[in-house]
Structure 1
Amino acid sequence: MNNNTSQMSYSKAGLLPFLICGVGAFFYVYEFFLRVMPSAMTDELMRSFQIDAGGLGVLSAFFYYGYTPMQIPAGLLLDRYGPRILLSLSMMVCAVGALAFGLTNSAIVASMARLFIGLVSAFAFVGALVLATRWFAARYFALIVGLIQLMGCIGAIVGEAPVAIMVQHIGWRSTMFWSAGVGAIFAILFWVIIRDRPEGDRDSTAHTEHQPNELQRLSQVVKNPQTWTVGLYAFACWAPIAIFADLWGIPYLKLFYNTSVATAATAIAVVWIGIAVAGPVVGWWSNKIANRRTPLLLCSILGLISSLFILYVPGLPWPFMYLALFVFGAAASSQAVSFGLVQDNNHISVAGTAVGFNNMAVILGGLLFQPLVGFILNNLWDGTIINGLHFYSLENYRSALILLPICSVIGIFASIFLVKETHCQPQFSEPTSNLAYDLQK
């Protein structure tokens, strides 16, 4: 297909790329919602399943036990079979998992439900990015990642403070049932609306016999040193969010201010607002200045400063805590730039595999550190029990959450010494795509 034909096809597409990518990104909203829900019902889950902080950390982390190792297979499968069928089926499995979680009285069954939700949720973010690579021009990728990240933050916000209120009024099980119903409805909508690629786009299928197979794709990605260095940064920038905003932030703030779960959850929502606001801005800024490393370094420095304020400034007034939480979230928005970098450093034919690898690095922190914080808390526990639950002191939390500033220091090191600048340009002599939707048309 020549460029003129491609341009005609896309001019007729109108708002279709925005509709398809927007609907596809809703899966990311939904999986983020399910991912963070346990943080808004920690006491209820510990009572219902008769577990302590270590058990809660493991229960929550079972999402990541499925989510993390599936990132690369998800990318490979999306490259091979396309987003439409995989996103639709995965959304339905997520809904069934949410239903099972709400029905069971067993911590083991609940953990398995979280595991399966995590397995299929691996297709959410990577699937949205694959749709973006097929429907939009490469130079807008970091911006689009930021917008998708914004949508995920909406899911996280809804999954905490509003869920805490719902749990107070209808109980945590009924909340899970409502969540399952919403997921089932959207699974059907996905199949109706999503299309794998623009009509007439044969760029990815015209030479199928010359396309790499799954092992070749994976080999091409993992043999690239920059895939690993960018992955290290991505891990370091997002691990604090997986630790604090995903799970342990609400109980920490509840204890810090002696306040309610709903109030603490509202404060944690500020973290997600920071990510939502800064994600598109940082992605746009990176594209504007044609520079990837500067945003990475600046965000890591902000993450270090804000985490120190959140943890170690005694009696921090609420307004300053809100500011620190906002900056803490904004600092993690450099995740969007890391996906731009990994796309710059890998060919379009392995786009799904590359972003899957990077997303695996991003969420590895949740798999490793959510249970680790719980185990540290248990080891520091002095035996106090209040209302049938283990009581952990503020100093216990501060000791366990020292992982937050440590991760920021790793991010600073990686952005200065390891990550190479691409100036927002693909590091290949051939163009990554001549078919992507151009926002200037």
Structure 2
Amino acid sequence: MSTIPTSEPAERRLRQAVVIWVVALSTYLLAVFHRSSLAVAGLVATERFGINAAQLSSFVMLQLLVYAGMQIPVGLLVDRFGPRRVLTTGAVVLTLAQTGFAFAETYPAALVARLFVGMGDAMTFICVLRLVNTWFGARRIPLITQLTGVLGQMGAILAAAPMTVALRELGWTRAYLAAASMGIVLVVLLVLFVHDAPGRRSHRGPQLRPDEIRASLAASWEHPGTRLGFWMHFSTQFSATTLGMLWGYPFFVRGEGQSQAAAGVLLTVMVVAVMSAGPVLGWRITVRPWHRSTLVLSIVGAIVTVWTVVLAWPGQAPFWLLLLLVVVTGVGGPASMIGFDLGRTSNPAERMASATGIINQGGFYASLVLVVAIGVILDWRTPGSSSAYTPEAFRWAMSFQYVLWGLGLTQVWRYRRQTRAWLREHEPDWVAQHATPRR
């Protein structure tokens, strides 16, 4: 009687990879929770700290600025010290920062706390992607990467309706302390279970001289695939990020006349749309990698179209249209992950983390600009108090997105042509296999 041989070492490695991914993913989920926890607390924050719209937006502006600015340094730190150490440090920083935010009673103290939230947040995602690229096979990486982004967005769900209830029932300090306490558990799990590579608990790369760092970053950025990934990330993410992090709740309540409960439902539906679309997009770019940029252009076009209908609607938009808005806009979240796949296939392994850091800046710089612009425009159109925001003011403010879409789509189209030309010259066999004949 014959038996089918099994590869126990391979199965054991896969089980270990899944455990490591789940722990790292949970840390990223918590980072998204902390990042998004201000979205439903914006109106409460204006009262607690006595601030206007521009000052409120400065919380997210500072957080995004720190996050985006740290992407390349964090990528270099991961290449040097390994993802385990950097990810654990990020979880500690997030826990301490959110604790400080819980006790903050003045605007400057709260700003400092959000600065460190952005710093801890910046140390998570690149680490998780590095672990995915190390522990999983090449064919699994696009799907696992999409699942990482998608499941991580559950943190935004926990920061929507549950955080709204916690703020109402527990108050500001106890609600944010409860959120901070979750980080203690994850730090323990990271120390116990995460390994940088098979057979190696911690990785330490070679120390790079400043000229080597500059050369590595320049080589990554010089490749048109990295630039295409950057502008894909820039164009797809900012609308959903801005709604989810700060301005969605006030926009739906003050701009569109929805109840607080309905606004929470809309934000939750947007996150569900993010989670639902991710695996589909991951499968799509795996089977048709040549058309990754076409997929991004189509998704951004749909987002622009629905926003145009909402902003042009006479009076306040109906609930069904706002539902469509958050669903279509939410797809932009996992669509931004396609940029990382461009970075992965355009750079060697030793530049992977730094290239990911470059690409990951795109959407967050766009989100930063939009968050600040909305606050400034709202104060311009409704001077005086945040309680006076009008639907007209929100139409003016949300229309600033067209500036960013115009820039992003132009650059995606530009670097799509350059990337395809590079592939035809340097990877003709790959093009012959994946590209459909041009008509």
TM-score (norm 1): 0.87
2:354 matched to 1:358?
A: no
Mapped contact 1:377–1:400 kept (Cα < 8 A): yes
Correspondence list, 1:214-293, <5 A: 214-291=213-290, 292-293=292-293
**Relative to structure 1, is the Cα distance of residues 54 and 191 closer, same or farther in structure 2, using a 3 angstrom cutoff?**
same
Q: Which amino acid aligns with 1:342?
A: G
Q: Which amino acid aligns with 1:171?
A: G
Correspondence list, 1:262-411, <5 A: 262-291=261-290, 292-314=292-314, 315-383=316-384, 385=385, 389-411=386-408
Mapped contact 1:309–1:324 kept (Cα < 8 A): no
Cross-structure match for 2:40: 40
Q: CA deviation at 1:333?
A: 2.2
Mapped contact 1:301–1:412 kept (Cα < 8 A): no
Cross-structure match for 2:140: 140
Cross-structure match for 2:58: 58
Mapped contact 2:80–2:206 kept (Cα < 8 A): no
Q: CA deviation at 1:73?
A: 0.7
What's the CA shift string for 1:48-88, capped at 9, x where partnerless? 11100000000222211221111001111111111112111
In 2, the alpha carbon distance for the partners of 1:219 and 1:256 equals 44
Cross-structure match for 1:177: 177
Cross-structure match for 1:70: 70
Cross-structure match for 1:110: 110
Mapped contact 1:240–1:403 kept (Cα < 8 A): no
Q: CA deviation at 1:345?
A: 1.0
Q: CA deviation at 1:108?
A: 0.8
What's the CA shift string for 1:261-311, capped at 9, x where partnerless? 332122112222111111221121111123312211111111111222333
In 2, the alpha carbon distance for the partners of 1:107 and 1:370 equals 18
Q: Which amino acid aligns with 2:330?
A: G
In 1, the alpha carbon distance for the partners of 2:407 and 2:335 equals 14
Where does the alignment leave 5 or more consecutive residues of structure 1 unmatched?
1-6, 430-441
Where does the alignment leave 5 or more consecutive residues of structure 2 unmatched?
1-6, 428-439
**Relative to structure 1, is the Cα distance of residues 373 and 213 closer, same or farther in structure 2, using a 3 angstrom cutoff?**
same
Mapped contact 1:303–1:408 kept (Cα < 8 A): no
What's the CA shift string for 1:187-219, capped at 9, x where partnerless? 1111111110112799x98x9699995444323
In 1, the alpha carbon distance for the partners of 2:285 and 2:196 equals 28
In 1, the alpha carbon distance for the partners of 2:351 and 2:166 equals 42
Cross-structure match for 1:439: none
Mapped contact 1:150–1:275 kept (Cα < 8 A): yes
Mapped contact 1:39–1:247 kept (Cα < 8 A): yes
**Relative to structure 1, is the Cα distance of residues 200 and 73 closer, same or farther in structure 2, using a 3 angstrom cutoff?**
closer
**Relative to structure 1, is the Cα distance of residues 295 and 20 closer, same or farther in structure 2, using a 3 angstrom cutoff?**
same
- Aligned pair count reads 416
In 2, the alpha carbon distance for the partners of 1:391 and 1:9 equals 64
Mapped contact 1:67–1:118 kept (Cα < 8 A): yes
Q: Secondary structure, in 3 states, of the residue corresponding to 1:419?
A: helix
Larger CA deviation: 67-76 vs 220-229: 220-229
Over aligned residue pairs, what C-alpha RMSD do you find? 2.7
Q: CA deviation at 1:8?
A: 7.2
In 2, the alpha carbon distance for the partners of 1:201 and 1:100 equals 32
Cross-structure match for 1:418: 415
Q: CA deviation at 1:23?
A: 1.2
In 2, the alpha carbon distance for the partners of 1:35 and 1:208 equals 32
In 2, the alpha carbon distance for the partners of 1:32 and 1:237 equals 18
Q: CA deviation at 1:362?
A: 2.1
Mapped contact 2:237–2:333 kept (Cα < 8 A): yes
* Runs of 4+, deviation exceeding 4 Å: 207-213, 420-423
